[in-house]
Structure 1
Amino acid sequence: MSDRLHPVDVSFLSAETPNTPMHVGGLAILEPARSGLDVAGLRRRVEQRISLVPRFRQRVRWVLGGLTQPVWVDDSRFDLAYHVRRTGLPTPGSDEQLHALVGRLLAGSLDRSRPLWELYLVEGLRDGRVAVLTKSHPALVDGVGGVDLLHVLLDDSPATADGVTPIWRPAPEPGPAELMVDAATHLVRHPGQLVGAMKGAGRLLASARPAPASPLNAEPGKQRRFASTHTDLDRYRALRSRPNVTVNDAVLATVAGALRAWLLYRGEPVRPDSVIRALVPTSVRGGPPAAFGADVGANVATSLVDLPIGEPNPTVRLTQIAYAMRAHAEPGRRVGADALVKLSGFAPATLNAMAVRAASGLSRRLFNLVVTNAPGPQRPLFVAGARLREIYPFVPLAPGQGLAIGVTSYDGQVYYGLNADWDAMPDLDVLAGLLDESIDELTEAMV
């Protein structure tokens, strides 16, 4: 029988609407070798490596009547030219033009009749650089330590030789009768666990405190804005000289300082006790980090962290956040994603949709924004001979969320990718600039 989707993945699919697509992604800025990098070369490299991630040639097949979880089937009409695309900017393309293009490309939903990913080669950047924009559904990736398509495209050397392209033949797709029999068998094997799972999920939701009101909690439309910035990783590492402070604490303190300044810039009221609650997913196992730090799956623990934006002293903000994160790291204080969607593990797929949509409707009450942070490799990497210079994560917006921030580190830099609703955040570029000012303020206060 074909592989059945994990309940977490079904939850992501069920939570999607045209206004809240759940795909993740990232923007990689590349410096090509003298021979350059064109879409033909990129497709050739993808074709050579895609067998390492076979899920990227499979599509989701839903079971008739929603009796159980959908299954993965090979896409018999898989077309690499559809998935790996070429676009460009008028030379020399500015950062603002690139951000506008990224926002447009990432706003649309993925075609569910095909494998759930797209990859764009963006030409026309300054200094002969190109960009690779990835767009893939979290269902394709197994947790924070999972392997994405970009992982298998990366090399430690620009001189990596082209390999032999493996021959691929799609497996026959199961028929409706076979799917129905398998669905019935699956339900019989789990006869009495749904009620207990529903009770556990209900207790989990009931235990969460409402998040404070915030202009960040806006209902997303169909359009997106994207912005980015990056700073030296050593500046965050230096902050670890304070007791019990981690690089992740320093990142969250930087975000808190930027949000405080952004609210004041907007003329919003900021009281001494004001907080913004961030949903912070973190890995709960060892293993290779995600390239973009944006995918959430079975190996993720989530923490609800109150960022003290009312505190004017950056050092005090950092100390408060470090204390809060230590408390969440204690056993029993964090909840793995498997527990969060335990209900979905035994409910029919149609009930999954209702349960996830109901939980998503509570999101504006439970947290104000998502902030992800995944450390990346601290050495140069290459894609088809082109050196990877910059890499910015893309985190999707949940219902009721106007902003999501993805953070990753690579080769001595910390990279921020900001995704926002078009109408809710017309000043997203201001917030990106305030992140730079916030880390300046924090490091200067520590001198």
Structure 2
Amino acid sequence: MVNRLSPRDAMFYFLDDSSATTHLGAVLIVDPEGVRRDAGKRSTKAASASSRGAPAREAPSRGSAADNGSASSGLDYQRLVALVENRLQLVPRYRQIVREVTLGLARPVWVDDPDFDINFHIRRSGLPRPGDTAQLQDLIARVMSRPLDRTRPLWEMYLIEGLPDGKLAILTKTHRCLVDGEAQLEISEVITDESRHSEPLAEEIWMPGAPPGATTLALGALADALSRPGDLVDSVMHGNAIVSDLRSTAEGVLRRAGSVVQQLTDSAPQSPLNNATTSTRAFAVASIPRRGCAKIAERYECTVNDVELAVLTGVMRRWMLSFDESVQSGDTVRVVLPLSARDPAVERRLDAEARWVTVGKPSFVTDLPVGEDNPAVRLAQVAGLANRFSHSSRRLSMGPRPLLPELGVVPFPEFSSRAFRSLNRRAYNVPVSLGTAPLAPRFVAGFPVVELYAIPTLMAQRALSVSIIEYRDKLQFAFIADRGVLSDLPAMTDYVTESYEELSMTD
């Protein structure tokens, strides 16, 4: 039995073109020296206690990073490969490729890669020592600019050496069709642990299954269509979302006309942020103290998410002023946010583990008042608009979806992908991914992750995408952009700090 891509996964697969690829990822800054420093502190305390006649503390448990040689050998390429090999059994799609069906008779299928080579997917790179943040960001931008090889499983990982103080960076790049809400994790989430002392999974012997031939896939597609002809009619007559708008020609025309009118009358402001031109990316990161943002939120009786958005508003205002001095008082930038940032109850599982790669969540569209020059007033407006629009049915969004999700033939999801690009182009200027809960400290092979940034997808006809997560009492901002539009993206780092300090100093 074949395992077909879901309608949404197929849509993202077909959204790729020469100017945009729908991959996402993460950057983990790992500190192998931190284990040695902690071990040294414990040894110093134990020696001091012994000299005072105090009983020595119990030795660390066996199997910890400090005891099994990790502290001396560090996190190297071989150790990372072994870790990923052990964890791939949790995400079987990462050893599968996408096979399209002849003549587009059905959605593509997942099949095992008979030539799977983990060393192709995990690569080693380095910065000229001593590497700095600008060099790391430039390397990440170059990696994220390249499309994934469609003849292989759609992911890559890089171990980047040469960072200051012996730190390492792990960069992951995963196609959006591999990550599906709660069901499928991004590879960076698979290799990290909340505890330094984690046991490896039981060893798994993986053997690829025989890939089906083109004729088999075509016959299977025809058999699927013939075995459920009623589903096609039912999906058109009683489907959900956009499909329900097609129950009759008259009703569909009226609703579509209404939708077009709404987009024309309530579309995002004209902005170069919707004028993506190239496939070349720029990348930048910044962080601000979460405690400071909490104090600002307490002072102005709002939420930390409101402060995050106000900081981002200040960033966008500075960016606009850097090339256009005619920013007017009523100017705005329209963003799309996860609805859970305003209402945690929308999450299906309240006990779900906090994640940094959040996709497929209900969203809403709101405006950032970049024309307002007073930071306190700007924060009040941000909070008021977000609260208002998160409760407006006109501003709610389920994110990108296929036009006719239940139809199996490829022309429909492919047509749906193109239609999504054109119809959704002016719905908003910038997608923003907001974490809804603080992340617990993470470890890779027993070594602490000291910084963590989520790299969001940069869709076609978008020049900028932003993610903000809370990690180790910091709010970590990541910006990925079309270099042809935002060649000055590294300035965003300074803008984040300036915008935060502006809010902190406001009485």
Relative to the length of structure 2, the TM-score reads 0.81
Give unmatched runs, 5+ long, in structure 2. Answer: 36-70, 247-255, 341-345
Equivalent residue runs for 1:25-424 within 5 Å:
25-32=25-32, 33=35, 34=71, 35-143=73-181, 146-187=184-225, 188-192=229-233, 193-194=235-236, 197-198=242-243, 200=245, 202=256, 204=259, 206-208=261-263, 209-241=266-298, 245-283=302-340, 284-285=346-347, 286=349, 287-293=352-358, 296-297=359-360, 300-330=361-391, 332-333=393-394, 335=396, 337=398, 340-341=401-402, 343-346=404-407, 348-375=409-436, 377-424=438-485
Aligned mates of 1:205, 1:368 — CA distance in 2: 18
| Matched residue type, 1:290 | R
Structure 1 residue matching 2:116: 3-state secondary structure: coil
| Matched residue type, 2:165 | D
List per-residue Cα deviations over 1:115-136 (Å, max 9, x = no partner).
1110000011111000000000
Identity %: 35
Q: Which structure's CA Rg is the greater one? A: 2
Structure 2 residue matching 1:345: 3-state secondary structure: coil
List per-residue Cα deviations over 1:205-263 (Å, max 9, x = no partner).
55332211123222231211111101111223234436773322221111111111221
Deviation at 1:369, TM superposition (A): 1.4
| Matched residue type, 1:400 | Q
Instruction: Identify if the C-alpha distance between structure 1 residues 269 and 190 changes in structure 2 by more than 3 Å, giving closer, same or farther.
Output: farther
Greater CA deviation, 305-314 or 131-140?
A: 305-314
Aligned mates of 2:180, 2:209 — CA distance in 1: 22
Instruction: Identify if the C-alpha distance between structure 1 residues 397 and 150 changes in structure 2 by more than 3 Å, giving closer, same or farther.
Output: closer
The size of the alignment, in residue pairs, is 442
Structure 2 residue matching 1:389: 3-state secondary structure: strand
Structure 2 residue matching 1:366: 3-state secondary structure: coil
| Matched residue type, 1:143 | G
Deviation at 1:335, TM superposition (A): 4.2
Relative to the length of structure 1, the TM-score reads 0.91
Instruction: Identify if the C-alpha distance between structure 1 residues 211 and 270 changes in structure 2 by more than 3 Å, giving closer, same or farther.
Output: same
Aligned mates of 1:394, 1:312 — CA distance in 2: 30
Deviation at 1:443, TM superposition (A): 2.6
| Matched residue type, 1:315 | A
The equivalent of 2:22 in structure 1 is 22
Aligned mates of 2:420, 2:168 — CA distance in 1: 40
Deviation at 1:100, TM superposition (A): 0.7
Give unmatched runs, 5+ long, in structure 1. Answer: none
Structure 2 residue matching 1:45: 3-state secondary structure: helix
List per-residue Cα deviations over 1:47-99 (Å, max 9, x = no partner).
11110111211111212111222121121211111111111111111111111
